[in-house]
Amino acid sequence: MSWLRPGDEKFHYSDGSHRWLPPDPKEDQDEWEADVRRHQQRHMAGERPRIRRRWI
């Protein structure tokens, strides 16, 4: 089971792995990677969002 906050879907592929390439090719790669790293830090910090999603 994984915890997602509203809007976190953009950081994950359907299998739950993290998306290291921005969904929009026009988006800056360095900024995207920084956003993904911040997102991962929230995972590691154990922050629990309001929505619970089960990965199958």
**pLDDT reported for residue 17:** 87
- Output the DSSP codes for 1-56: -EEE-TTGGGGB-TTS-B--S-SSTTS-HHHHHHHHHHHHHHHHHT---SEEE---
Work out the number of other CB atoms within 10 angstroms of the CB of residue 5.
14
Tens digit of each residue's pLDDT (9 = 90 or more) over 25-55: 999 999 999 999 999 888 877 655 555 555 5
pTM of the complete model: 0.68
